[in-house]
Amino acid sequence: MRTIIEPFRIKSVEPLHHTTVEERERYLERAGYNLFGIDARHILIDLLTDSGTSAMSTEQWAGIMRGDESYAGGESFFRLKRAADDLTGFRHMIPTHQGRAAERILFAVMCKPGTIVPSNTHFDTTRANIEFTGARAVDLPIPEAADTQARLDFKGNMDTAALEALIVREGAGNVPLAMLTVTNNSGGGQPVSMANIEAVKGVCARHGIPLYLDACRFAENAWFIHEREAGYGDWTPKRIAQKMFSLADGCTFSAKKDAFANIGGFLSTNDDRISQQQTNLLILTEGFPTYGGLAGRDLEAIAVGLEEVLDPDYLRYRIVSTGYLGRHIADRGVPIVEPPGGHAIYIDAARMLPHIPKAQFPAQALAVELYRHAGIRSVEIGTLMFGAAARHELLRLAIPRRVYTQSHIDYVVEAILEVNAAKDGIRGLEIVQEPPFLRHFSARLRPV
């Protein structure tokens, strides 16, 4: 059979609410043309993020009922630890309330002013947490990633020659760790090959630098390796993921992505000394090491999700269904980051809206128009989010896991094509108010 169906059936439903164009215009004005400021009840299709927005399974809900809410040493922690240990193989794991908490602890312990953390591409919270310590976040994507239209199997790879040159130029002592984001979120949700992980590890090992994975979407990355990289076609996703983790010295993980959980994450390492420092900071700011800012029921949901996400039927459906959205708009003239990624489709707003200059945030302007036209919420990945560090002006359509059906996605396709047909009338935006960090979350804008 050629038709790929959802490998689940719907057991509970949540109503969606339609709004009018006039109502949406009022909501935009009230929110300062920032979609983060619009109430979720006024959103029809929410593609703002795939983080914490998944539909949990019957087994996860059953796990929630089993949750052990003991303050210290609860059984739910040990169930999560067994699942994480089996998957990652790292010696130490501490739970955190989400991925950015793991990032904050990691960089607070390992970074200091003047140090440098290279990556294939840092995401927004990662970059902010690094820079908050006084360190510098450096992106080293492969040169081919600069062309959004180039179709490469592993466009999320790190430029290992550039990594080597950076370490030699700056000195290994000034590089406390290197990171690989799998899949490469800011780079268009593109996967990283096993060969590239091995090559990055080789460079780091020669210079005595630990390698950490930002492993939020490790399972999707593993599936791309299974599908595209020679030698892994008969490997299970779990076996591939285990090899990915074996090449690293630690990881940060947001369970709100590839574990289907609505909250949670963890931080892992093989370094005994670093682990103790991380645990001390966890106790100070998150909670006791066996709950780390989470309820026991959340730990249970994560433990189940780590197993469910590696199901080949689910991963096949996930990647194919994301590609369905990408191909249906790209083949009709909407420029996307090619090829379609795993968790999201990224529209190249600079290419789609050449009449809007970078300083007027073309991707944010497109996000505003898509909401105004059809009630769809998306997110800008460009100059509003990253400032001068932005390499592209992208609009991300992040697809929550196990939430929307094909008819929902067909509606999104129709809306995007209609917006594209009237794109010449879209206006740019300017900032009227912004915070010092992560401005895209709360900045207020107005049409130019």
Give the pLDDT confidence of 195-216 residue by residue, as tens digits: 999 999 999 999 999 999 999 9
Residue 6 lies in a domain: no
pLDDT in tens, 431-441: 999 998 889 99
- To which H or E segment does residue 94 belong? strand 92-96
Q: Which two tokens stand for residue 196?
A: 């590239």
Report how far Cα 389 is from the mean position of its chain's Cα atoms: 18
Dihedrals φ, ψ of 76, to 5°?
-60, -35
Same domain for 272 and 137?
yes
pLDDT digits (tens, 9 = 90+) for 302-342: 999 999 999 999 999 999 999 999 999 999 999 999 999 99
For the chain, what percent of residues have pLDDT higher than 90? 95
* Domain, as residue range, for 274: 58-308
* Predicted local confidence at residue 317, as pLDDT: 96
| 100/168 same-domain check | yes
Cα–Cα separations (whole angstroms), residue 273 to 109, 235, 270, 337, 400: 11, 34, 9, 41, 37
- Give yes or no: residues 301 and 438 share one domain: no
Q: Is residue 176 part of a domain?
A: yes
Number of domain units in the chain = 2
255 and 126 fall within a common domain: yes
Do the domain assignments include residue 358? yes
CATH number reported for the structural domain that contains residue 174 in this entry: 3.40.640.10
The model carries a pTM of: 0.94
Which of 308, 343, 374 marks a domain boundary? 308
pLDDT in tens, 113-142: 999 999 999 988 899 999 999 999 999 999
Cβ 365 vs Cβ 427: under 8 Å: yes
